């Protein structure tokens, strides 16, 4: 007996444009739940979503949806909803007309489409604005009407490219609730984001993409731990940097100490133990700490650590 086909299966997929590799040998499968596609801008997140949506052909490897190649099978769009990052939506249509048109293009009758559109617009909480032209919408409203248009046919797979861009915090929470509910119904939700906190709050599973490669994947807590355990670097200013450097050198969690141009830099493998003990070490040596700064807290440095790992 063969296992049932995964809703989405990406197998050794690569995609390049001329000499530029956008996606490099990526493999994963999605069977349900909310998955976050996390990575810095330009990492290849959109390319992966467009590969799954069938709008790009993999240069090598395969991308399948319900066991069929994602590309060249328009009938698969019955099961797939795509929210592109691109903001453009027909400005002359009202929100209701736009969502209804999407439902009709999915093959629904006029009555079915009206019903489905009303439900989808309710889900994204845009009923008040549904009879206004989309041209008058704010960025967040536009984002939500795009989501409504993508879920109006209740797709099994929902792909969202940076869906929270332009939403205010309240709208963001509502959208996260909606996506969680849809996942609870057994749907596959894959959304991309370059913001760690969004992914942390919503995704059960994370795919970290850096420079086109899948740097890490799995449970969010697992990846969070990897991120926390990575070597941290701090710069310290104190009343006596040289003495502090010597005192810190004796500590077991310190991986390295350097003193260049009067700037004390400390590298530690254990973030927790270091932050708990550094003040005590200084006090015992009779040194006053003036400043303790982490040097590499940007998301990019977290990503690049995951890649090197």
Residues that bind other proteins (CB under 8 A): 17, 22, 41-47, 49-50, 53, 55-57, 72, 74-78, 80-82, 84-90, 92-93, 101-102, 104-107, 149, 161
Q: How far is the CB of 192 from other proteins (least distance, A)?
A: 9
Q: How far is the CB of 165 from other proteins (least distance, A)?
A: 11
**Tokens of residue 44, six digits:** 């290849």
What secondary structure letter does DSSP report for 287? -
Please, are residues 60 and 46 in contact by the beta-carbon 8 Å criterion? no
CB nearer other proteins, residue 15 or residue 172: 15
Please, are residues 232 and 294 in contact by the beta-carbon 8 Å criterion? yes
CB nearer other proteins, residue 35 or residue 79: 79
CB nearer other proteins, residue 54 or residue 268: 54
Q: How far is the CB of 41 from other proteins (least distance, A)?
A: 6
Q: How far is the CB of 242 from other proteins (least distance, A)?
A: 47
The span from the CA of 70 to the CA of 9, in Å, is: 9
The span from the CA of 125 to the CA of 175, in Å, is: 9
What secondary structure letter does DSSP report for 56? S
The residue written with tokens 């976050």 in the block is 36
**Tokens of residue 213, six digits:** 């490669």
CB nearer other proteins, residue 78 or residue 139: 78
**Tokens of residue 262, six digits:** 């009067």
CB nearer other proteins, residue 75 or residue 261: 75
Q: How far is the CB of 31 from other proteins (least distance, A)?
A: 22
CA-to-CA dists, residue 142 to 73, 226, 231, angstroms: 28, 36, 41
Pairing of strands 188-193, 289-294: unpaired
Rama region for 44: left / alpha / beta (φ>0; ψ in -120 to 50; rest): left
291 has which bridge partners? 237
CB nearer other proteins, residue 105 or residue 293: 105
Q: Which residues contact 187 (CB under 8 A, 6 or more apart)?
A: 32, 155, 156, 157, 158
Q: How far is the CB of 82 from other proteins (least distance, A)?
A: 5
Gyration radius (Cα) of the chain, Å: 24
Please, are residues 173 and 200 in contact by the beta-carbon 8 Å criterion? no
The span from the CA of 31 to the CA of 36, in Å, is: 14
Q: How far is the CB of 5 from other proteins (least distance, A)?
A: 18
Q: How far is the CB of 57 from other proteins (least distance, A)?
A: 7
CB nearer other proteins, residue 3 or residue 20: 20
CB nearer other proteins, residue 155 or residue 282: 155
């Amino acid at each position: 007996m063969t296992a049932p086909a995964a809703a989405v299966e990406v197998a050794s997929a690569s995609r390049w444009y001329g000499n530029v590799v956008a996606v490099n040998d990526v493999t994963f499968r999605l069977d349900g739940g909310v998955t976050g596609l996390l990575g810095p801008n330009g990492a290849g997140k959109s390319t992966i979503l467009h590969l799954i949506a069938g709008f790009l052909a993999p240069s090598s490897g395969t991308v399948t949806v319900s066991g069929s190649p994602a590309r060249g099978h328009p009938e698969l769009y019955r099961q797939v909803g795509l929210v592109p990052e691109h903001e453009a939506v027909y400005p002359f249509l009202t929100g209701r007309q736009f969502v209804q048109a999407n439902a009709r293009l999915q093959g629904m009758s006029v009555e079915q489409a009206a019903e489905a559109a009303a439900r989808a617009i309710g889900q994204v909480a845009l009923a008040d604005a549904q009879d206004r032209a989309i041209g008058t919408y704010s960025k967040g409203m536009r984002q939500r009407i795009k989501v409504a248009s993508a879920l109006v046919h209740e797709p099994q797979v929902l792909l969202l490219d940076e869906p929270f861009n332009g939403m205010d915090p309240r709208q963001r929470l509502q959208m996260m609730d909606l996506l969680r509910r849809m996942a609870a119904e057994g749907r596959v939700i894959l959304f991309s984001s370059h913001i760690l906190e969004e992914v942390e709050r919503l995704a059960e599973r994370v795919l970290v993409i850096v420079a086109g490669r899948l740097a890490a994947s799995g449970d969010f807590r697992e990846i969070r731990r990897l991120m926390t355990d990575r070597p941290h670097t701090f710069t310290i200013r104190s009343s006596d940097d040289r003495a502090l450097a010597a005192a810190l050198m004796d500590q077991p969690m310190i991986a390295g100490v350097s003193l260049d141009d009067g700037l004390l830099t400390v590298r530690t493998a254990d973030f927790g133990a270091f932050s708990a003990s550094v003040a005590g070490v200084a006090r015992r040596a009779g040194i006053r700490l003036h400043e303790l700064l982490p040097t590499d807290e940007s998301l990019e440095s977290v990503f690049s650590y995951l890649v090197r790992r």
